[in-house]
């Protein structure tokens, strides 16, 4: 049986709302940044449901003993923002995952070949094999960048089945490439758009997510 990449577009009104704000070209950079924070928060909320490790313990309420469930602080959680644009989603993710470690990776696309090259890598030599990984990358366009990052982290001990990727807009080309290389990872995206233009931008998309986040 071949595994098929799972891609979820959560049908949540807040996710739709902030995606609409992000798509609108008249949205100023300050509001675009807010949209990224909110999308980071709500997509993380959706992505961690079956992924965040929990533990059961008894607590004492003011009235009686009671079973309770907590996030297990022993299991390492890593958030990986792919610079630059992935930083926009990071803040929202961190509000829900305060115990996570953040490992930055910077990837730039060659404008002509669209091939990714890594210019910053803060990964440890080796990750703990149980580490849960949340990657933030708002635009999954050709798939070159996300696959390069997945190749790197899996070589450092990450189980691809423990990886969740949050994105704002994904294109079929990226999902196909990711699905062929790492079908056990799971993607949560606010939207899926049909195509890329000749420069590798997602259409209709939202433009350059890094430029719009940082006002450049
Ligand atoms: N990166 C972006 O910022 N936008 C796209 O449409 C594709 C890649």
For each of the domains in the chain, give its residue range(s) and CATH number, in order of start.
6-52+73-214 (3.40.50.2020)
What are the tens digits of pLDDT across the range 59-87? 999 999 999 999 999 999 999 999 999 99
Could you tell me the distance, in angstroms and rounded to a whole number, from the CA of residue 85 to the centre of ligand 1? 9
Place of tokens 């959560």: 10
| Predicted local distance difference test score (pLDDT) of residue 113 | 82
d(CA 94, CA 129): 21
Residue 22 Cβ inside 6 Å of ligand 1? The answer reads no
What is the residue-averaged pLDDT of the chain? 96
Nearest atom within ligand 1 for CA of residue 201:
6
Q: pLDDT-derived band of residue 110, with 50, 70 and 90 as boundaries? A: confident
Minimum CA distance residue for ligand 1 atom 5 = 201
Length of the chain counted residue by residue: 216
User: What's the 128 CA to ligand 1 centre distance in angstroms?
Assistant: 32
Name the residue of 140, 195, 196, 206 whose CB sits within 8 Å of the most ligand 1 atoms, as the mutation to test its pocket: 206
Whether 174 is in the pocket of ligand 1, judged by its Cβ within 6 Å, is no
Distance separating alpha carbons of residues 84 and 211, to the nearest angstrom: 9
Query: Whole-model pTM?
Result: 0.96
Q: How would you classify the pairing of strands 202-203 and 195-196? A: antiparallel
Say what the pLDDT of residue 84 is. 92
């Amino acid at each position: 049986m071949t595994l098929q990449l799972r891609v979820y577009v959560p049908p949540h009104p807040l996710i739709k709302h902030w995606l609409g704000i992000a798509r609108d070209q008249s949205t100023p950079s300050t509001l675009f940044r807010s949209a990224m924070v909110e999308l980071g928060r709500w997509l993380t909320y959706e992505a961690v449901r079956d992924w965040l490790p929990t533990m059961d313990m008894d607590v004492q309420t003011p009235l009686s003993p009671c079973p309770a469930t907590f996030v297990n602080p022993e299991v390492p959680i890593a958030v990986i923002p792919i610079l630059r644009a992935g930083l926009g989603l990071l803040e929202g993710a961190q509000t829900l995952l305060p115990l996570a470690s953040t490992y930055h990776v910077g990837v730039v696309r060659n404008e002509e070949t669209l091939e990714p090259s890594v210019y910053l890598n803060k990964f440890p030599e080796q990750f703990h094999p149980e580490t849960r990984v949340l990657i933030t990358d708002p635009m999954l366009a050709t798939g070159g960048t996300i696959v390069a990052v997945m190749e790197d982290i899996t070589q450092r001990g990450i189980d691809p089945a423990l990886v969740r990727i949050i994105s704002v807009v994904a294109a079929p080309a990226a999902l196909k490439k990711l699905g062929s290389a790492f079908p056990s990872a799971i993607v949560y995206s606010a939207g899926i758009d049909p195509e890329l233009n000749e420069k590798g931008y997602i259409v209709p998309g939202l433009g350059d997510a890094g430029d719009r986040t940082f006002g450049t």
